[in-house]
């Protein structure tokens, strides 16, 4: 979106100069311009111009309420609008000129105060403000010199915060596992947890910006540590109270019996656990085979009906493609029912297109304005998205980034690409995907799904869509 032309503002103000009382148009223009600047984080990236705009708006409102000189109100609103427009433009320039600094600061901010060491946080903010001040004055070369110093401080602050955020949870689990003598009862999980902790430490020291990878390793380390705690806890319990083994086996048998009853199977307690497990597996496989046979029979009927219809209409090739898409949609609908258990509908919307593509609309993957740093709350959503991708095995994945219309077209296009790329990189990291199985594309503001004129609509338009692409038709296979 282009910034509102100055001519519109001047025409409105000229009209007001001959009107009493002051009309709403220039006030609305000023508030709108300030709102756009605020959405672009002008209070952080162009504070002098932003504060000037909000101050003049407040003064104009005060004069208006006191029924003072109309011409002075008009002048203040005019200046407030121009200051806000410039603040918005400077904010976009700042995020474009200093992307590494902005995202380093955002990572530290998103980590939360509980993880940030006070003195490093204060120093990094002070140095960041120095970069902003020089950039806002137009001294870009000076700003870049200050940026190098600020990046060093942010690096130190991020290392400390990332250790608290990603290493400490593993070390706490490892410490508890040690108290439970995990080296005796669960040596494999214990050693792997310690190794993973060392890997996270090394990664953070070398590159504190690699938070997606740090999060992934931290989750793995915590799982291994907790597994060691569980196993060693059982070992200590059995050692101190051997008779508890019997109650543990009884509880295990009861769980096995519950599952067997659900499957309509009767287990004999004299059978070994391996035999019981084999029977349960056989029952599940028979059930799956029965369901597959039912689906195959239904598919056969659909194909026969399709063949008859194609014969009558003389459009066999077209009907084959229709049948193929219907089949894909039917399969997708069955899997989508499983996906609904993974996601809160307020956080992720699941859509099925006419071409049988499945779209995971990540409504709660909320990036900071102007930033492509995945917020911590976004990782669990993406982890569930990975489970969805695995459920639709064989489909390629396209990550699409979208923005609202605040800011100019080029700014929004690049921002959407960076966000889509960040999500793509996390998915590839977690899934070890190679080649073009997962790709990313940014659409900027070009594909809104709601009204950009309202705050609620803009929130919906700022989104990441993960598209699970329906497989193409195989040539020569009707």
**pLDDT averaged over the chain?**
86
Q: What is the pLDDT of residue 310?
A: 58
224-228, 248-252, 342-346, 453-457: range with lowest mean pLDDT: 248-252
Is residue 400's pLDDT more than 60? yes
- Average pLDDT of the segment spanning 92-105: 94
Is residue 268's pLDDT more than 70? yes
Is residue 124's pLDDT more than 80? yes
Residues 325 and 205 in one domain: no
C-alpha span between 190 and 177 (Å, rounded)? 7
26-30, 42-46, 140-144, 158-162: range with lowest mean pLDDT: 26-30
Q: What is the pLDDT of residue 148?
A: 97
Residues 48 and 136 in one domain: no
Model confidence at 1, in pLDDT bands (50, 70, 90)?
very low
C-alpha span between 326 and 445 (Å, rounded)? 32
C-alpha span between 408 and 424 (Å, rounded)? 24
Residue 402 lies in a domain: yes
Is residue 403's pLDDT more than 70? yes
Q: What is the pLDDT of residue 16?
A: 43
Greatest alpha-carbon pair distance for the chain in Å reads: 99
- Which residue, 237, 261, 295, sits at the end of a domain? 237
Q: What is the pLDDT of residue 85?
A: 96
Q: What is the pLDDT of residue 23?
A: 52
C-alpha span between 297 and 289 (Å, rounded)? 12
Q: Which residues make Cβ contacts (< 8 Å) with residue 231, sequence separation at least 6?
A: 182, 185, 186, 189
Residues 338 and 465 in one domain: yes
Model confidence at 84, in pLDDT bands (50, 70, 90)?
very high
Q: What is the DSSP letter of 163?
A: I
Residues 114 and 86 in one domain: no
Is residue 469's pLDDT more than 80? yes
- Average pLDDT of the segment spanning 446-473: 89
- Average pLDDT of the segment spanning 468-475: 80
Residue 44 lies in a domain: yes
Residues 214 and 110 in one domain: yes
Crossing angle (nearest 10°) for helices 70-97 and 24-39: 20
What is the percent of the chain with per-residue pLDDT over 90, rounded to a whole number? 55
On whether the CB atoms of residues 408 and 450 are closer than 8 A, the answer is: no
Q: What is the pLDDT of residue 13?
A: 43
**Between 304 and 370, whose confidence is greater?**
370
Residues 80 and 170 in one domain: no
Residues 324 and 336 in one domain: no
For residue 437, what is the domain's CATH number?
3.30.1330.60
Residues 462 and 340 in one domain: yes
Is residue 18's pLDDT more than 50? no
Residue 28 lies in a domain: yes
Residue 281 lies in a domain: yes
CB atoms within 10 A of CB 295: 14
Residue 296 lies in a domain: yes
121-130, 134-143, 315-324, 382-391: range with lowest mean pLDDT: 315-324
Kindly report the pTM of this predicted structure.
0.76
C-alpha span between 461 and 443 (Å, rounded)? 11
- Which residue, 209, 237, 265, sits at the end of a domain? 237
Residue 474 lies in a domain: no
- Average pLDDT of the segment spanning 447-451: 91
Please give the tally of structural domains in the chain. Answer: 4
Is residue 6's pLDDT more than 50? no
Task: Tell me the three-class secondary structure of 408-426, residue by residue.
Answer: CHHHHHHHHHHHHHHHHHH
Residues 233 and 281 in one domain: no
Show the domain range for 163: 100-237
Residues 281 and 308 in one domain: yes
Q: Residue 435 has which token pair?
A: 């080649």
Is residue 175's pLDDT more than 90? yes
State pLDDT tens for residues 249-260: 778 778 878 887
**Between 15 and 373, whose confidence is greater?**
373
Q: What is the pLDDT of residue 169?
A: 96
Residues 112 and 75 in one domain: no
- Which residue, 97, 112, 143, sits at the end of a domain? 97
Residue 255 lies in a domain: no
Residues 425 and 370 in one domain: yes
Residue 262 lies in a domain: no
Q: Residue 107 has which token pair?
A: 């990572």
Q: What is the pLDDT of residue 5?
A: 45
């Amino acid at each position: 979106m282009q910034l509102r032309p100055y001519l519109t503002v001047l025409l409105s103000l000229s009209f007001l100069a001959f009107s009493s009382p002051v009309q709403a148009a220039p006030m609305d223009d000023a508030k709108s311009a300030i709102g756009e600047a605020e959405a672009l984080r002008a209070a952080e990236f162009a504070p002098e111009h932003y504060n000037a705009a909000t101050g003049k708006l407040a003064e104009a409102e005060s004069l208006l309420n006191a029924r003072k000189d109309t011409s002075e109100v008009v002048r203040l609103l005019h200046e407030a609008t121009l200051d806000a427009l410039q603040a918005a433009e400077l904010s976009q320039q700042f995020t474009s000129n200093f992307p590494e600094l902005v995202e380093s600061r955002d990572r530290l901010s998103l980590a939360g105060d509980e993880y940030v060491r006070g003195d490093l946080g204060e120093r990094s903010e002070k140095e960041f403000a120095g970069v902003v001040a020089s950039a806002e004055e137009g001294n870009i070369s000076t700003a870049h010199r200050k940026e190098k110093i600020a990046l060093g401080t942010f690096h130190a602050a991020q290392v400390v915060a990332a250790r608290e955020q990603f290493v400490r949870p593993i070390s706490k689990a490892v410490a508890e596992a040690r108290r439970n003598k995990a080296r005796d009862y669960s040596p494999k999980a214990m050693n792997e947890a310690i190794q993973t902790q060392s890997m996270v430490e090394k990664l953070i020291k070398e590159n504190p910006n690699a938070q997606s990878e740090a999060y992934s390793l931290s989750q793995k380390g915590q799982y291994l540590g907790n597994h060691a705690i569980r196993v060693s806890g059982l070992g200590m319990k059995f050692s101190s109270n051997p008779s508890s083994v019997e109650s543990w086996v009884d509880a295990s048998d009861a769980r096995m019996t519950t599952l067997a009853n659900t499957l309509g199977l009767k287990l004999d307690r004299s059978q070994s656990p391996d035999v019981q497990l084999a029977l349960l597996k056989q029952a599940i496989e028979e059930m799956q085979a029965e369901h597959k046979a039912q689906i195959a029979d239904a598919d056969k009927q659909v194909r026969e009906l399709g063949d008859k219809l194609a014969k009558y209409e003389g459009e066999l090739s077209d009907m084959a493609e229709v049948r193929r898409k219907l089949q894909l949609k039917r399969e997708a609908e069955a899997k989508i029912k499983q996906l609904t258990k993974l996601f809160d509908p307020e956080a992720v919307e699941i859509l099925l297109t006419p071409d049988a593509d499945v779209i995971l609309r990540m409504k709660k993957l909320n990036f900071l304005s102007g930033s492509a740093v995945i917020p911590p709350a976004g990782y669990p959503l993406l982890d569930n998205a990975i489970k969805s991708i695995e459920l639709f095995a064989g489909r390629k994945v396209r990550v699409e980034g979208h923005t609202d219309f605040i800011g100019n077209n080029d700014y929004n296009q690049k921002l959407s690409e960076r966000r889509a790329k960040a999500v793509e990189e996390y998915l590839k990291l977690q899934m070890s995907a190679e080649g073009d199985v997962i790709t990313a594309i940014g659409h900027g503001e070009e594909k809104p799904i709601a009204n950009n004129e309202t705050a609620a609509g803009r929130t919906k338009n700022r989104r990441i869509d993960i598209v699970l692409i329906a497989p193409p038709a195989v040539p020569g296979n009707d």
